[in-house]
Amino acid sequence: MISPSPFEGLDPPEAARRLAADGPNLLSPERRRSAAAIALAAAGEPMFLLLAAASVLYLALGDQGEGLLLAAAGVVTIGLVAVQQVRSEVALRALGRLSDPVVRVRRGGRTTSLPARELVRGDLVLLAEGQRAPADGRLLGADVLRIDESVLSRESAPVTRSGAPGAPGGCLPGEVFAGTLIVAGQGIMEVTATGARTALGRIGASLSTIGPSRTPLQRSTGRIVVVIGSLALVFAGVVAVAYGTLRGLWIEGALAGITVAIALIPEEFPVVLSVFLALGAWRLARHRVLVRRPAAVEALGGASLLCVDKTGTLTGNRMQVAAVWTPDAEGVPGADALPASLRLVLEAAAAASSPQPTDPMDLALSRHSAASSDRPERMWPMTPRRLAVVQTWAHGDGRVTAAKGSPEAVFALCRLSATDAAPAREALERLAASGLRVLAVAEARHDAAADAPEELPFVLLGLVGFLDPVAPDVPAALGEAGAAGIEVAMITGDYPATARKIAMDAGIDVDGGVMTGEEIEALDAASLRARLRSVRVFARVQPAQKLALVRAFQANGAVVAMTGDGVNDAPALEAADIGVAMGGRGTDVAREAADLVLLDDRFSSIVGAVRLGRRIFTNLRRALIYVTAIHVPIAGLALLPILVGAPPFLFPIHVVLLELVVDPVCSLVFEGESSEPDAMRRPPRNPRASLFGPAEILAGFGRGAVILAAVLGLYLGLLPAVGENAARAAAYVGLAVGNLSLALAIGASAGVGLFDARRRLFWTIAATLAVVLLPALYAPGVFELFRFEPPPPGALTLAVGCGLAAGGWSGVVRALRRRRGSGSLRNIP
């Protein structure tokens, strides 16, 4: 039950009972695919259809053993694909839970934060500017909110609502609807409906119907796979017809064609991309960075400029009142007893704050004033034109209106001349130069109600300075960013002197001076770009000017990562190459516009995300090169022996067995590779450099061609010496060893030993392949299924050495060049 006090909220047991009765606050139930559904979808892929066709042909030939073995291998392969997809979907669901909006509610007399899905009827929710209403409800008290209801009404103009019976003219009743956006103001809402019972839920709007977006790389790779797959099928048909025409063996020709098709279709590409992007996002989430758009994972490693806010990103956002000034006194709260004039300033500042404070400065002020259960009679929220909060309170037979905000805005409300404002400006400069964030406080006493604050007779009471020092981990993170070739610009709404002091404490370059929002506004695009070549500290910046800064930095060639937390930061976040929203203090609008969300609002998390982004990019590039490289010998060995008149080397079962190695090596071993030791000592990659372009394709073809030449030469050389089946067995061992050594050569990170614990997964896969190959080579009744015969020890030794050399040579070259300190190979996989 609700407590008699209107702001106590539900008791936790009652809230739990209602949640069990009504269900979670979701517009529609979560959708998830079962493992069986994923496996069924995988079975419809072209490669598995080809496997099924090959099994049928073997059975038609009466070769039940080989047909059943091929079918079993296909089932195992489908299972591996399903496991990878399930792993990706589990990671994405975990990210989905992290991305759930968090709301502040009153429960049991305390303010707490909880996921919006846990809201129930009767909860008291604290609403603030930039937040989307998490449920339907009604406003309590006299708070006035401007709300964008276009999600329901399709009307773009915001409406004004208030819960007060005698609300000011133009205000609508206090109903608030789920999904609508609080444009201005703050207040308390009592939840009246949740989930599908809200107005938004009833009209069937459901975010769950929106599928995950594919990145540009995924789309382009998908097109490549379709083209290569189509050509592979055509080429396989030609091989089957030629084989049947030249040798008169049409069923064997069909098997040869299927083998070529399976070898050529690069079905690993989309799997590798989806696994890397999903698990990359999961790894970033473990570092307190939530990925909202998969393309950001690709872009992170290329960021060359971080544009960050001061408060809460470079500083701890734990405000405390450090100084109070009036024309006749100055003091520090808590150091000693404050004079009455200074206490009056603090009380007036608290009167201009929210009764249920969430803003760090409001919270700091509340610790120096008596709590009040009253509500203001009228409030005017901060606007871009008036950077001050104004609230009117009943006082005896009259009214008292308190204002706090930027000194310039409050001086204007008080109509101070330059001479009258001079003492306050001198104190402002002095406090700001010590790194304090300074607000001015004013008060007006009057009888009649006012329609606008500008009508009231405000008197300046004084200044309040808030201490919010640089977070302890920021200087080290800035140093790491600098070593990685990443510049940092600080953009803040604070006073220039405050911005300069905080930038110096953090370690940001201040040699170019501090540029203000007014200066940004006055410059044309070309002049602004010229100034931005040296300036890295910006003060008194409005959200619209952030957008101008982002575009100017981009015009100068920077890849910009931009942080933001407010409603009006959304355009700049959208325009940046990587938009980063604050998860702790950011608004819903900022989070919706961003590519990444910092769950802990720490600057070091941004730098950590760049570090991890570089690792993901490098490992994904290596995996794609490996997939390209390994298809060259598989496809060549399926085709070339036939063209030169030799017995076929590969049959479908051989290709499938290699595919069982390729997929797990790519998606697990490459994805789990650690960062290079110098990953954050390299400059950002060229933004025009693609993840997988001509250079990477040529690198893959070159490495694959070496294995193809070595294994083909081994097979053709052993044929007259040991016979077809023994030569096939030995050459196949060489191909498998070449496959594994190539993976080790491409994926090996510097500083990780061959038998390091981090190589455990690789050696597990290698051991598994050895366990499968041993009976295939030596067990009677088994090696016949693979068309093998036990090869002589000398031939087997030669095959292993050939595979190690053909696959591992590039790794040896990389290691030697690293040892010599050659920089030419830094970015070569």
What pLDDT, on the 0 to 100 scale, is given for residue 735?
93
Give the other-Cβ count within 10 Å of 634's Cβ. Answer: 26
- Cβ-in-10-Å burial (0-12, 13-18, 19+) of 597 comes to buried
Residue 470 contacts residue 315 (beta carbons within 8 Å): yes
Contacts of 689 (CB under 8 A, 6+ apart): none
Active-site annotation holds for 359: no
Q: Which is the catalytic residue, given 123, 136, 143, 309?
A: 309
Question: In a 3-state reduction of DSSP, which class is residue 440?
Answer: strand
Structural tokens at position 137: 């409800």
- Cβ-in-10-Å burial (0-12, 13-18, 19+) of 538 comes to buried
For the four alpha carbons of 197, 199, 202 and 206, in that order, the dihedral sign comes to negative
What pLDDT, on the 0 to 100 scale, is given for residue 218?
57
Bridge partners of 263?
none
Instruction: Catalogue the E-assigned strands of 712-786.
Output: none
Bridge partners of 399?
394, 446
What pLDDT, on the 0 to 100 scale, is given for residue 215?
53
What pLDDT, on the 0 to 100 scale, is given for residue 1?
30
What are the mean pLDDT values of the chain's consecutive 10-residue runs (829 residues total)?
56 92 78 66 62 63 61 68 65 60 87 89 88 88 77 69 64 82 83 86 50 55 67 74 72 73 70 75 81 75 88 82 92 78 92 80 84 74 85 88 94 94 94 92 91 92 92 90 92 90 91 93 93 93 87 92 77 87 72 80 85 85 86 84 84 76 67 76 77 82 93 94 92 91 77 66 83 88 86 93 91 74 46
What pLDDT, on the 0 to 100 scale, is given for residue 209?
42
What pLDDT, on the 0 to 100 scale, is given for residue 192?
93
What pLDDT, on the 0 to 100 scale, is given for residue 824?
41
